[in-house]
Structure 1
Amino acid sequence: MNITEQLHETAARVAGKPAYYFMDQATTYGELDGAVTKFADGLHKLGVSKGDHVALLLGNSPHFIIGMYGALRAGATVIPINPIYTPDEIGYILNNGDVKVVLALDLLVPLLEKMNPMLPNVEHMVICETEQDKGEADISKLSIYSKMKSFTSMVASGDLSFNGQAVDEEDTAVILYTSGTTGKPKGAMLTHKNLYSNAKDVGDYLKITEEDRVVTTLPMFHVFCLTVVLNAPLMRGGTLLVVPKFSPQEIFRLVKKYEATVFAGVPTMYNFLQQFPDGNPEDFKSLRLSISGGASLPVALLKAFEQKFNVFVSEGYGLSEASPVTTFNPLDRPRKPGSIGRNIQNVENKVVNEMGEEVPIGEVGELIVRGPNVMKGYYKLPEESVATLKNGWLYTGDLARMDEEGYFYIVDRKKEMIIVGGYNVYPREVEEVLFAHPDVVEAAVIGVPDPNQGEVVQAFVVKKNDSLTEADVLTYCREHLAKYKVPKNIEFIDELPKNTTGKILRRSLKAQVLQN
Structure 2
Amino acid sequence: MNNRHFAFWPKRIPKSLVVPKTTLCDNLEVTVRRYPEKQAIIYYGTEISYKRLAEEVNLLAGFLQNRLGVAKGDRVLLFMQNSPQFMISFYAILRANAIVVPINPMNITEELAFYIEDSGAKVALVGQELYDRIAPLKQSTILQDVIVAAYSDYAPTEPPFALPEEVAAPRMTIEDPFVTLWTEALSCNLLPGPVTATYNDIAVLPYTSGTTGRPKGCIHTHETCQANIVGGCVWSSITPNAVVLTALPLFHVTGLQHSMNAPIQIGATMVVLTRWNRDTAAQVVERYECTHWTNISTMVVDFLSNPNLSNYNLASLSSIGGGGAPLPEAVGEKLFQLTGVRYAEGYGLSETMAQTHVNPPDRPKLQCMGIPAFNVDARIINPETLRELGPGEEGEVIVNGPQVFRGYWNRPEETEKSFIQIDGKRFFRTGDIAKYDEEGYFFMVDRVKRMINASGYKVWPAEVEAILYKHPAVQQACVIGVPDARRGETVKAFVVLHEKDRGTVSEQDIIEWSKNQMAAYKYPRIVQFMDRLPMSGSGKILWRKLQEMEQETYTAG
Normalized against structure 1, the TM-score is what? 0.79
Cα deviation, residue 6, structure 1: 1.2
Q: Partners of 1:346 and 1:281 in 2: how far apart?
A: 43
Aligned to 1:413: 447
Residues 57-206 of structure 1 mapped to structure 2, 5 A cutoff: 57-119=79-141, 121-131=142-152, 132-133=169-170, 139-140=174-175, 145-160=176-191, 162-178=192-208, 182-206=212-236
Q: Secondary structure at the match of 1:377?
A: coil
Q: Partners of 2:405 and 2:338 in 1: how far apart?
A: 39
Q: Partners of 2:530 and 2:215 in 1: how far apart?
A: 22
- Alignment equivalent of 1:334, drawn from 353, 363, 366: 363
Cα deviation, residue 109, structure 1: 3.1
User: Are 1:375 and 2:405 an aligned pair?
Assistant: yes
Q: Partners of 2:392 and 2:402 in 1: how far apart?
A: 27
Aligned to 2:259: 229
Aligned to 1:292: 322
TM-superposition CA deviations, 1:438-458 (whole Å, max 9, x none): xxxxxxxx9xxxxxxxxxx99
Q: Which amino acid aligns with 2:34?
A: R
Q: Partners of 2:315 and 2:449 in 1: how far apart?
A: 41
User: Are 1:216 and 2:246 an aligned pair?
Assistant: yes
Q: Secondary structure at the match of 2:215?
A: coil
Q: Secondary structure at the match of 1:178?
A: strand
Aligned to 2:468: none
Distance 1:512 1:238, change over 3 A: farther
TM-superposition CA deviations, 1:274-303 (whole Å, max 9, x none): 211111275221100101212222223222
Say whether the 8 Å CA contact 2:123–2:144 is kept in structure 1.
yes
Say whether the 8 Å CA contact 2:242–2:290 is kept in structure 1.
yes
- In structure 2, the gaps of 5 or more residues are 1-21, 153-168, 455-460, 462-479, 487-513, 533-557
Aligned to 1:449: none
Distance 1:402 1:69, change over 3 A: same
Distance 1:508 1:302, change over 3 A: farther
Q: Partners of 2:481 and 2:88 in 1: how far apart?
A: 46
Instruction: Tell me the percent identity.
Output: 31
Distance 1:512 1:149, change over 3 A: farther
Distance 1:98 1:285, change over 3 A: same
Aligned to 1:11: 32
Cα deviation, residue 34, structure 1: 1.4
Q: Partners of 1:153 and 1:459 in 2: how far apart?
A: 47
Q: Partners of 1:194 and 1:511 in 2: how far apart?
A: 41
Q: Which amino acid aligns with 2:265?
A: M
Q: Which amino acid aligns with 2:46?
A: Q
Distance 1:163 1:309, change over 3 A: same
Say whether the 8 Å CA contact 1:377–1:389 is kept in structure 2.
no
Cα deviation, residue 460, structure 1: 4.4
Aligned to 1:30: 51
TM-superposition CA deviations, 1:394-442 (whole Å, max 9, x none): 111111111122111111212359xxxxxxxxx99xx9xxxxxxxxxxx
Q: Partners of 2:109 and 2:530 in 1: how far apart?
A: 26
Say whether the 8 Å CA contact 1:252–1:279 is kept in structure 2.
yes
TM-superposition CA deviations, 1:25-59 (whole Å, max 9, x none): 11111111111122111111021110011001100
Aligned to 1:266: 296
Q: Partners of 1:40 and 1:297 in 2: how far apart?
A: 40
Q: Secondary structure at the match of 1:234?
A: helix
Aligned to 1:479: none
Say whether the 8 Å CA contact 1:261–1:287 is kept in structure 2.
yes
Say whether the 8 Å CA contact 2:335–2:342 is kept in structure 1.
no
Q: Secondary structure at the match of 1:83?
A: coil
User: Are 1:400 and 2:431 an aligned pair?
Assistant: no
Give the aligned length.
Answer: 437
Q: Partners of 1:345 and 1:405 in 2: how far apart?
A: 17
Q: Secondary structure at the match of 2:218?
A: strand
Q: Which amino acid aligns with 2:84?
A: P
Q: Which amino acid aligns with 1:9?
A: V
Say whether the 8 Å CA contact 2:145–2:178 is kept in structure 1.
yes
TM-superposition CA deviations, 1:237-292 (whole Å, max 9, x none): 11100001001001100000000001111011111012111112752211001012
Cα deviation, residue 221, structure 1: 0.5
- Alignment equivalent of 2:78, drawn from 31, 51, 56: 56
Q: Secondary structure at the match of 2:270?
A: strand
Q: Partners of 1:458 and 1:294 in 2: how far apart?
A: 15
Q: Partners of 2:244 and 2:40 in 1: how far apart?
A: 10
Mean Cα displacement is larger for which, 303-312 or 70-79? 303-312
Aligned to 1:485: none
Q: Partners of 1:216 and 1:43 in 2: how far apart?
A: 26
Q: Partners of 2:528 and 2:53 in 1: how far apart?
A: 46
Q: Partners of 1:216 and 1:245 in 2: how far apart?
A: 10
Aligned to 1:473: none
Cα deviation, residue 169, structure 1: 2.1
Aligned to 2:284: 254
Residues 235-246 of structure 1 mapped to structure 2, 5 A cutoff: 235-246=265-276
Distance 1:266 1:234, change over 3 A: same
Say whether the 8 Å CA contact 1:352–1:365 is kept in structure 2.
yes
Q: Secondary structure at the match of 1:283?
A: coil
Q: Partners of 1:70 and 1:133 in 2: how far apart?
A: 24
- Alignment equivalent of 1:2, drawn from 1, 18, 23: 23
Q: Partners of 1:346 and 1:101 in 2: how far apart?
A: 36
Q: Partners of 2:105 and 2:481 in 1: how far apart?
A: 33
The structure whose RCO (Cα within 8 Å, separation 6+) is larger is 2
Cα deviation, residue 236, structure 1: 0.3
Q: Which amino acid aligns with 2:404?
A: V
TM-superposition CA deviations, 1:159-192 (whole Å, max 9, x none): 45x4533113222111111156741111111111
Say whether the 8 Å CA contact 2:344–2:366 is kept in structure 1.
no
Q: Partners of 1:225 and 1:515 in 2: how far apart?
A: 43
User: Are 1:350 and 2:379 an aligned pair?
Assistant: yes
Q: Secondary structure at the match of 2:261?
A: helix
Say whether the 8 Å CA contact 1:41–1:164 is kept in structure 2.
no
Say whether the 8 Å CA contact 1:281–1:308 is kept in structure 2.
no
TM-superposition CA deviations, 1:214-253 (whole Å, max 9, x none): 1001111111101111111110011100001001001100
Q: Partners of 2:401 and 2:284 in 1: how far apart?
A: 36
Q: Partners of 1:514 and 1:315 in 2: how far apart?
A: 39
Aligned to 2:15: none
Q: Partners of 2:122 and 2:481 in 1: how far apart?
A: 45
Say whether the 8 Å CA contact 1:291–1:315 is kept in structure 2.
yes
